[in-house]
Amino acid sequence: MVIFVNKTNFMKKSLLTTLLLILNIYCFAQLTPFEKSKGAETATYAECISFYQKLASEYDQIKILDYGLTDIGKPLNLVVLSKDKIFDPQKIHQLHKAVFFINNGIHPGEPEGVDASMIMARELLKHHTIPENVVIIIIPLYNIGGALNRGSFSRANQNGPERYGFRGNAQNLDLNRDFIKTDSKNSIAFQKIYNDWNPEIFVDTHVSNGADYQYVMTLIETQKDKLNPILNHYMSDNLVPHLYQEMKKVGFEMTPYVDHIAETPDAGIVGFLETPRYATGYTTLHNTIGFITETHMLKPFAKREEATYDFLNIMLNKVAHDANLIIQTKHQADEAVKNQKVFPISWELSQDSFKMINFKGYEGKHKPSEVSGFPRLYYDRNEPFTKEIHQFNLYQPNITVEKPFAYLIPQAWDKVAKLLVLNQVKISRLAHDTTLEVQSYYIDDYKTLPKPFEGHYVHSSVKVHLVKNKIKYYKGDYIVYPNQTSNRYIIETLEPQATDSFFAWNFFDSILGQKEYFSTYVFEDLAANLLKQNPDLRKQLNEAIATDEKLKNSGQAQLNWVYQHSPYFEKTYLRYPVARIAEGTKLDLN
């Protein structure tokens, strides 16, 4: 039997089959490793960047920018999604578009946001659904060094994925403690991105350790009391309730981050105080509303990724809906901060203020440990509960400062100036050598950690007093006027009592060491003459002896007291180098 084939139809069918095959191959190539593994794997650094590069080769509404090298020697990339293909941040703000910033992989063992953002970007491009009035910027994977240090055992308490990155970066730094001290190149690149784009909304994606409970997602929003009141009103009364409501609708009911005050959450939880060392604490200094998504480590990785994906999409839709309001609110906050006169720089939790919230947990019980035999805690998932628990979330300022007319920073401390400039602080410089009357802080007391924390012996509980001094300054020394939208960054880094000040992070530790001393057998005669010539000094010494037992019983201590109150004692010892300048001081500037 002879079969006659219609060549035209055969060729059409063959071409269609080939095209479908190519399309299927292409679509599969655009799946994430998370999807290919059915929720078992997270993308490697190379897979993540390659995925975005493929999207950029296919769509013109996405651009990948390079913001310089990280500590591991690879660039920190920024993915930008813009419906009208405008990728200039200044032009974007001029067009009154809101900027929504997503940061992923600051802790690469907590990778949900890495995969969720890849899928979100693909779906927005594929379905042409990038909002007209929002530009989305994504750091695909911030801690590249940690992501390359990949394994399966560093997250002992976590339920997947099969392999993931390490918390420390190439310098073994926790990058979520590096936003003020800036020891890493990663932090420099992040701050360039942040200050270039000046986002209205920021989300940092994480996974939470801690108690067991029923929720897949917990949430940290910028601590409301630290946030500018204008922004706090919108965030607390509008944005946050909406997020909780919408997440519940999609099956991921949320609770505030579970930082419990006793062994189990039943006794109550505490609002997280993210000081400027943390990502959202840093962004708060610049009037950005920030969020940390904290999915629960014990829930399956696939569920955690799904919850993160849903949260990012709900946030994007809300930003698009409220774009004009969000932009206007941030602008009002920026203007208010420029004119603000008094600034809180340290906070404490109120033990007297709380609200009751519904919490879905599991009963915490005890049984003998199979390791030690001692009682151990466990959560009984056969006994879920819904209870009202205390939430303590009122922070009150315990130190406030009034801003000066200007700060003066000697050029010897140029790292300080570089970080200020990186954060878009406008700086002037002295045109000539000059002597100025300034107010100088002297450090009276401080506590220091006994062991290093993130490479530093951090200072806290700093006590100071102000002294008027006439000091010689030099051409090129830096002048900073706190009349800028970056005022909070200026004041919370330059005021030594601030929790995460440059002083706290050891930028000025050389002033804490005395450089000159005396030989006792020589200074005895000098001290005796000083006391004879200055009866008031003798009177002060006697008064000090009367109230200080150690001074009373030590001749060396008394000699040292005279030395410290004599013209021979160095004036720079314990003098904080950043001076405060009063209004009316004449400054000749470049």
Question: What confidence score (pLDDT) does residue 25 get?
Answer: 45
Task: Compute the radius of gyration of the chain from its Cα atoms.
Answer: 29
Mean pLDDT of 414-439: 98
Mean pLDDT of 222-244: 98
Three-state DSSP class for residue 167: coil
Q: How confident is the model at residue 363 (pLDDT cuts 50, 70, 90)?
A: very high
* Domains, the chain, ordered by start: 22-339 (3.40.630.10), 355-396 (no CATH), 397-514+572-581 (no CATH), 520-564 (no CATH)
Q: What is the pLDDT of residues 374-416, one digit of tens each?
A: 999 999 999 999 999 999 999 999 999 999 999 999 999 999 9
The contacts found for 89-94 with CB under 8 angstroms, 24 or more apart, are 89/196, 89/197, 89/198, 92/135, 93/198
Residue 436 has pLDDT above 80, yes or no: yes
Question: What confidence score (pLDDT) does residue 8 get?
Answer: 46
Record the tokens describing residue 320, joined without a space.
């698009």
Question: What confidence score (pLDDT) does residue 209 get?
Answer: 85
353-391 CB burial, b ≥16 within 10 A, e <16: ebeeeebebbebeeeeeeeeeeeeeebeeeeeeeeebbb
Question: What confidence score (pLDDT) does residue 14 get?
Answer: 54
Residue 31 has pLDDT above 70, yes or no: yes
Mean pLDDT of 277-292: 98
Residue 117 has pLDDT above 70, yes or no: yes
Residue 220 has pLDDT above 50, yes or no: yes
Q: Nearest to residue 479, comparing CAs of 401, 424, 425?
A: 425
Report the C-alpha gap between 170 and 149 in whole angstroms: 9
**The total number of residues written for the chain in this structure:** 590
Question: What confidence score (pLDDT) does residue 57 get?
Answer: 97
Mean pLDDT of 69-76: 98
Question: What confidence score (pLDDT) does residue 547 get?
Answer: 95
Chain mean pLDDT for the chain: 95
Report the C-alpha gap between 446 and 464 in whole angstroms: 9
Question: What confidence score (pLDDT) does residue 29 get?
Answer: 55
Mean pLDDT of 358-380: 98
Question: What confidence score (pLDDT) does residue 4 get?
Answer: 38
Q: What is the pLDDT of residues 189-205, one digit of tens each?
A: 999 999 999 999 999 99
Q: What is the pTM of this model?
A: 0.93
Question: What confidence score (pLDDT) does residue 21 get?
Answer: 47
Please say whether the beta carbons of 231 and 221 come within 8 A.
Answer: no
| Residue 584 backbone class (left: φ over 0; alpha: ψ -120 to 50; beta: rest) | left
Angle, helix 112-126 to helix 45-58, in steps of 10 degrees: 10
Residue 3 has pLDDT above 80, yes or no: no
Q: How confident is the model at residue 12 (pLDDT cuts 50, 70, 90)?
A: very low
- 98-103 and 134-139 as β-strands: parallel, antiparallel, unpaired? parallel
Percent of the chain at pLDDT > 90 equals 94
Mean pLDDT of 97-123: 98
> Cα–chain-centroid distance for residue 353?
26
Question: What confidence score (pLDDT) does residue 461 get?
Answer: 98
Mean pLDDT of 435-460: 98
